[in-house]
Every structure is written in C-alpha cells, then in structure tokens.
Amino acid sequence: MNIKICLFVLFSFLFINKISANENLSLLTFNDDKKIEAVFKKENITGTIVIYNSQKNYLTGYNHKRANTQYSPASTFKIANSLIGLSTGVVKNTDEVFFKYQGQDVFSESWKHDSSLKDAIKVSNVLAYQELARKVGKEKMLINLKKINYGNETIGSHIDTFWLDNSLKISAMQQVEFLYQLANKQLQYPQKIQQDVSEMILLDRSETWKLYGKTGWFSAENNLNTIGWFVGWVEKDKEIYAFAMNMDIKKTNKKDLEKELLKRQKISIESLKVLGIIE
C-alpha cells in the first residue's frame, strides 16, 4: 500500500477513535490522581472531579464512583437552558432583555432588575431562567434535552423547577461530555449560538489560558443531599480541558455556608493547577 495512503488511514483511525471516546467518556480509563485526592482531603470535602484531557484523550480526577452518580444540576443547567432558549428563538440574542422584574421576593438583591441572558447568568438569576424555561415550554425542552443527551433527560411535573427539584439529574462525567462538545462547537446548534453562550461564562484568563465555568447549588427542602457544583473548561494551546466537580455541602449557618460554597471553585482550580493546566 502507498505510504501516503497508510498514513491517511492511520490518522483517520486516530481521529475517529478520539471522537468516539468523547461521545462516551465512560469507555475511557479513569485515572485517580493522588495529588487531586490530597486537595479534597485538605479541604475535608466529600466529592468528585473529572477532567478530560482531549489532547491525550484520557480522564483524570478523583472518586470515579461518584463521578458517575447523577445529581440535580441546579444552576449549572443555565448553560444548557441558554442554548435551548436561543436555539428555539425564545430569545433573539444574549443581549435581549427577556425578563421583567415584577417586584417579587428574591434570594439575591442582584436579581431585582430586568435581565438579558448575559445579565442573568452572571448573577445566576433563577427567576430569569424560570421565565426562559416557561417560554420554551415542556415539549421543546424535552426535545432539546434529548438532542444534547443531557443527564437523565427528565423534566417531571414543573417546567420551571425541574433542574432544581431533583427531577433532572446529571453526573460529573455527563457534564464533561456536554461541556467538551460545547467548547468545541460540536452540539447540534448553530456555531454562533454555542460561541455566544461560551462567551457568557468566561470567568478568567491569562496570557496562555482561558477559564470558562458555572457554579451550581442544589438544596433539598429537608436539607439532605445538598450538592455544590463547578463545571466548565480550560482552553489552552488550542486544546480543551473540560471538567466537572461536585461536592457535599455542609449546610449550617449562613457564614459557614458561604465558606463551603467557595470551595467549589477553590478545589477545582487547585486540581487544575496540580495537573499544570493553569498556573
């Protein structure tokens, strides 16, 4: 066989194999990292983190079993909700003011104003995203959850709380699959929509990398199974490192709760640092 043909076949196989692995990351070997484990233990946190290295096509992190356990996505679903709102035409763009504040009681003072998607996601405005979900409607929402293979693809009884009431569930591994595809503009949506949503969740950058992400906090009425999330990806040297972490939140007084919630980002950042992904 001609050497050029041989090389073409080889590189094609490697490319296809990488994409196939990305479509189902659970098929890859999960490498528990002792340094990342030490980060969790130092903070006395029960949780997991999954980091996908697309260049080497392998998974690393901590607590493989939990990484495959599904939990309510809470406010991390705002990423998918934004994509769905834009793709269905419910909102025209990320700057359109679609939520009108009606003076209702709110969890945060930062929610007391009319909002666009850009405004709402920055302050994690639950009321705005509930309005967005109602405008999308149950039928279109279900179609899109299946379209992006989002978790258990379940809505339950209420269109405006399903990502908060434990109806919709997703694992850290599934979060990484979804985020990797979004970061690479591989979802079944126009690339501009994927780019616009990605830009909304840009959190930090240096000369060599960009950090994209979104936090989430699920709190059940009985205060049990309270879960914190931080999910996203790092773009570095034209490579994507998608990650998702979740942790048990020890809900006590407000001051202690705030400290616990800060650990979502802290542990994730430290984990990315020990792998040399960010400085």
> Which are the catalytic amino acids?
75
DSSP label at residue 111: G
Q: 159: which 2 tokens?
A: 């269109």
Q: What is the DSSP string of 35-85?
A: HHHHHHHHTT--EEEEEEETTTTEEEEE-HHHHT--B--GGGHHHHHHHHH
Q: Is 245 left (phi over 0), alpha (psi -120 to 50) or beta?
A: beta
Largest pairwise CA distance in the chain: 73
CA angle 223, 229, 230 (to 5 degrees): 155
Burial (CB < 10 A; 0-12, 13-18, 19+), residue 158, is middle
Burial (CB < 10 A; 0-12, 13-18, 19+), residue 224, is exposed
The tokens 């020890």 sit on which residue?
250
H or E element at residue 273 = helix 254-274
- How many CA atoms are closer than 13 Å to the CA of 138, on its beta-carbon side? 8
CA 64 to chain CA mean position, Å: 18
Q: Give the helix ranges, DSSP H, for 123-225.
A: 126-136, 138-147, 172-183, 191-200
